[in-house]
Structure 1
Amino acid sequence: MLEINDLTITIGAHQIVSIEHLSIPAGRRLGLVGESGSGKTMTAMSIIGLLPRDAVVTGSITFSGVEMVNRSERDLSNIRGAEIGVIFQDPLRALNPTMRVGKQVAEALRLHNTVPSNQVKGRTLELFKQVQLPEPAVLARRYPHQLSGGQQQRVLISMAIACDPKLLIADEPTTALDVTVQKEILELLARLSADRGMAVLFVSHDLGVIEVISDHVAVLYGGSLVETGPADDIVALPRHRYTEALISVNPGHPEDISASLGKPLVTIKGSVPPLGAFLPGCRFRGRCPHEIEQCAVEPPITEMTSEHSFKCWNPVDSTMPIGSGDAELASERQ
């Protein structure tokens, strides 16, 4: 349903994103994961044309057979909301503070002529029920600041799914929420995707969250895809050293955190370099404890299976049980 090929996003003299291929079949959930500054949001927003004015996009993004790159703003406006829904990271900033939340959802329905005008109110309350908001009729008359963070995010989700989109882009939708609410939102999105046959592109820096929500995972670093594959395969048998590092620094699900108490926290050395400061070759070079001389050259794509591929000159041993490499990674950073 969504196909990205040879995509590049350039701002000024800097190439922000370079992706050879990425796809999301209808009804599937793809997790796009990486640290802040990896190009996740730029990649997601390029699909619907919400990029800075000076961004130059080349390559191809096809959605339901329609080319999205360089489409007119009028065409993109007709697709946003109607065929592609979006959930933004900060619900309080995304919602209009001067409008009641029910009216904001109703406005989305009217904009795309989804239902007859005399059915808009009923459809709005029905959407609130679907996202499990309590007392929909009462809550619909409240302003965003009168809701909790979890309720604000559920309102945004109801707006995003109001027109039965084929694809939902969720850009870090659980970052500002506590763990309990985060789990509820993830379960809600998974259920809505399954019930509606709706594809989801879920953007997050947290591989633990990505693992819960996604069928397939794409690991992004420095604007480049370093590993893609089924979620279970990526977590159990990562091949790229950056994927291994993301798994190592993740404390796990809340019920597993107690096992880490008293142990040194594992971190990834350094931080994502600023634009123009990446070393030639592998983007993770300079931060990777397993760097070899060959890493100064851009690694090719290696296919483990038809679905699982990576780009790394010195990959994780696929026969090594997950977790055995974590101690080595931690010791090298003491």
Structure 2
Amino acid sequence: MRLVFAGTPAPAVPSLRALVARGHDLRLAVTRTDAPLGRKRVLTPSPVAVVAEELGIEVIRADRLDPAVTERIAAEEADLGVIVAYGGIVREPLLSTPRLGWINLHFSLLPSWRGAAPVQRALIAGDRTTGASVFQLVAELDAGDVFGEIELPVPETATAGQLLDQLAVAGAELLADVVASLADGSAVATPQQGEATYAAKLGDDDGRVRWDEPQSAVLGRIRGVTPEPGAHTTIGGARLKVLAASAADGALAPGAIVGDGKRVLVGTATDPVALETVQPAGKGAMRAADWWRGLRETPVEVGT
């Protein structure tokens, strides 16, 4: 089929590669404009832009699917539009411009976690299962009929970044299968069933660790916001990024912190959490035990 692909971050790349591998005619790749990255804020093309150009696919850089982009896409007379984490909304008339409209690969079991951050919100909520869905794009947010889905258990220690990488690979094959079924006319879509939940985009405060929550909720939040926007707390009034943590046993008051030279424990509403890797303000990542030994005085207050 003649396809137009819209996507931006690294998790969209496996889908782009899978569609090319299946022999489809990728006419255009639409992605967001180059973004400033790193301390020097160097303008950097999106992962989708880099791979699309490697594959010889024409790239359109646009932060909005405006009338000019719509006109350019319409000129390709595509059979289908495919979108994976593009970062923008497809509205009419673009929504119905391809012959078969648009389908979307979404990293949740719809109607759970419609919206921008499904994997992150699922981990923060403590979900034990997750998955990916391919659905018909409609005007309402992530509400279209579903062509196919896969379900996966949530690994106990997975971060959002790790889980998203896993779903991106598995979801790419699901997406390619759905496109194949649309091509041969065998595709069947079913309406979403159940109560919808929503996954709003994460902000900095979502990464603030609430030590007065149970251990499972604290660890779920830390993993759910890793790598972005990142988990953080305050120790003695100074901000500390929490890059990795694990479950520990014992009795420790919420927010109380102790170190024994080998481990650094922080109390929660239930059992404590062991800090594994941290990053103090203005410094690089380090083992939590090393950070603790380097403190000139023991902090007595942890922000909650």
Normalised TM-score (structure 1): 0.28
Higher RCO (C-alpha under 8 Å, 6+ residues apart): 1
Of Structure 1 and Structure 2, which has the larger fraction of its residues in helix?
1
Structure with higher Rg: it is 2
Of Structure 1 and Structure 2, which has the larger fraction of its residues in strand?
2
